[in-house]
Amino acid sequence: MNRWHLSPGGPRSPSSSSFHDSRPALFSTSELREHGGPHRIVIVGGGAGGLELAVHLGEQLRKLRRREAPAEVVLIDAALTHVWKPWLHELAAGTLGGHDAGVEFLQQARRHNFRFHLGTLESLDRARHELWLAPLVDDEGTEIAPRRPVAYDTLVIAVGSIVNDFHTPGVAEHAIALNSAADATRFHRLLLAACARAEVRSGGPVQIAIVGGGATGVELAAELIESVHAIAGLGTELRQEPQPVQLRLIESGDRLVSALSEDISRQAREDLEARGVEVLLGRRVTEVAANHVVLDGHEVLPAELTVWAAGIRGPEVLEKLDGLELNRSRQLLVRDTLQSTLDADVFAMGDCASCVPEAGAPAVPPRAQAAQQEARYLADALLRRLESRPVEGFRFHDRGSLVSLGSRDAVGRILGRMPGHGVRLQGLLARWAYWSAHHAHMVRLQGALRTAWDQVGNWIDGRTQARVKLH
């Protein structure tokens, strides 16, 4: 198990062959930058892990206010609002409650003692300890801020992941990938337009194809069935259809949500099929067009809307980080201390990082719970680094997985602290456990009282407003 040590003897650059070196090199904090100010920790990416890291670090540094602060924390994100990524499928379907739609980064920064910059990572200059942000433009294309550098002493990259299209023709032009809240919002607008066309033209059900039977595809399918039924119930023509939406879930593997056990996978499939979802297993999409998808064997399936949810990879910007090592999925290779293999001052966490904690062990999975555990680990480890104290390497503790199957159902397994022990959950109890993960995340961001008030607001909204947003 790796331990850091901060020697005053200057920098040493670890090679890629020393991935499991028991003595990873680190720069001495006094040699990083000669700016005379506090040590600057820059976090790029405000997802579940990045934002929680900024909050934890900011709060811990606040406790040191009586003496000179040893560090400052800067969070950078391309959006002004943080949205819980596991709920993008609800945002896409229009069923996400208003109080759950997101929290403002600027508000979080003010409350939790860190700074926020709006911007998109463009490149990295490791020799100068600078990252560069792309020009900032508004919705009209007007430049608000030019391309600009941000200096760092310690850099944490938490830019998440994007969907892997596997170079399939037509995906970029005709399919939607739920990589961000903006993508989910765009899909919801297209969904409303498709429902409106079906209502006006009386042309039969809305045709939707979801490519990828992982958690995102399964959860989106369940949510869309409820959403379109609710929308159809408000009209006159579409409501006459026995099934207002014809939804196909296409998976190249032999079962859904393969990361979970076979019994849970089977239950998820049976639940979706009972709701009218056509599940196609062992089929691969070879092309996506404007109004259909093509399967292997040249079978053509109609689809007004296509969602691509088959696999993930790191964002393209990771290829512009001054030569840092990537794997085949374009994730940054990191040690068990979450330091990149070629630069001890650059850390990576969450979906954009590939961490193998121990030789022969599986990589840390790309899940929200892993990013949150890494955030808590780094919050402690980075402060220990400033004080030249050693720290153990990161270890992921799997707490289980749950898959949402609509507003009142879910299925999955909760694992205990003892390996191999767990409890299978289904129905409302599983849905409550699924919801509680987000609830715990919000408590960490804004406290128990404010989170409770937001939940009261959601409860009221659920009884006074339509289940699905129509805008």
pLDDT digits (tens, 9 = 90+) for 243-295: 899 999 999 999 999 888 898 999 999 999 999 999 999 999 999 999 999 99
Task: Round to whole Å and give the CA distance between 31 and 171.
Answer: 47
State the CB neighbour count (10 A cutoff) for residue 167: 7
Topology of the domain covering 163-312+401-464 = FAD/NAD(P)-binding domain (3.50.50)
Spans in the chain with pLDDT lower than 70: 1-36, 65-69, 97-101, 202, 416-421, 457-467, 471
- Contacts of residue 96, defined as CB under 8 A and 6 or more positions apart, other chains included, come to 87, 90
Q: Do domains 16-78+119-161+314-386 and 163-312+401-464 have the same CATH topology?
A: yes
C-alpha angle 320/58/149, rounded to 5°? Answer: 30
Residue with tokens 């990045």: 50
Distance (Å, whole) CA 377 – CA 326: 22
The CB-side HSE value for 13 (13 A sphere, CA atoms) comes to 8
Pick the CATH number of 16-78+119-161+314-386 from 3.40.640.10, 3.50.50.60, 3.30.70.1450, 1.10.10.10: 3.50.50.60
CB neighbour list of residue 398: distance below 8 Å, 6 or more residues apart: 365, 369, 415
For the chain, what is the HEC assignment? CCECCCCCCCCCCCCHHHCCCCCCCCCCHHHCCCCCCCEEEEEECCCHHHHHHHHHHHHHHHCCCCCCCCEEEEEEECCCEECCHHHHHHHHHCCCCHHHCCEEHHHHHHHHCCEEEECCEEEEECCCCEEEECCEECCCCCEEECCEEEECCEEEECCCCEECCCCCCCHHHHCECCCCHHHHHHHHHHHHHHHHHHHHHCCCCEEEEEECCCHHHHHHHHHHHHHHHHHHCCCCCHHHCCCCEEEEEEECCCCCCCCCCHHHHHHHHHHHHHCCCEEEECCCEEEECCCEEEECCCCEEECCEEEECCCEECCHHHHHCCCCCECCCCCEEECCCCEECCEEEEEECHHHEEECCCCCCCCCCCCHHHHHHHHHHHHHHHHHHHCCCCCECCCCCCCEEEEECCCCCEEEEEECCCCCCEEEEECHHHHHHHHHHHHHHHHHHHCHHHHHHHHHHHHHHHHHCCCCCCC
Burial of 138 by CB count in 10 Å (0-12 exposed, 13-18 middle, 19+ buried)?
exposed
Helix axes 48-62, 368-386, angle to 10 degrees: 30
Map tokens 């860190």 to a residue: 114
pLDDT score at 19:
38
pLDDT the model gives residue 206: 94
- Cα dihedral sign, 35-38-39-43: negative
Taking only the tens place, the pLDDT of each residue in 104-134 is 999 999 999 999 999 999 999 999 999 999 9
**Cβ–Cβ < 8 Å for 414, 434:** no
Instruction: Determine the Cα–Cα distance for residues 468 and 406; give it in Å rounded to an integer.
Output: 13
Give the span between the Cα atoms of 389 and 225, in whole angstroms: 53
Q: List phi, psi (to 5°) of 381.
A: -65, -40
**Which pLDDT does position 282 carry in this prediction?**
96
In the prediction, which pLDDT does 67 show?
59
> In the chain, where are the structural domains located?
16-78+119-161+314-386, 163-312+401-464
Rounded to an integer, what distance in angstroms lies between the CA atom of residue 181 and that of residue 178? 7
Contacts of 363 (CB under 8 A, 6+ apart): 354, 355, 356
Amino acid letter, residue 287: E
Report the distance separating Cα 94 and Cα 97, nearest Å.
Answer: 9
Is residue 124 within 8 Å of residue 11, measured between CB atoms? no
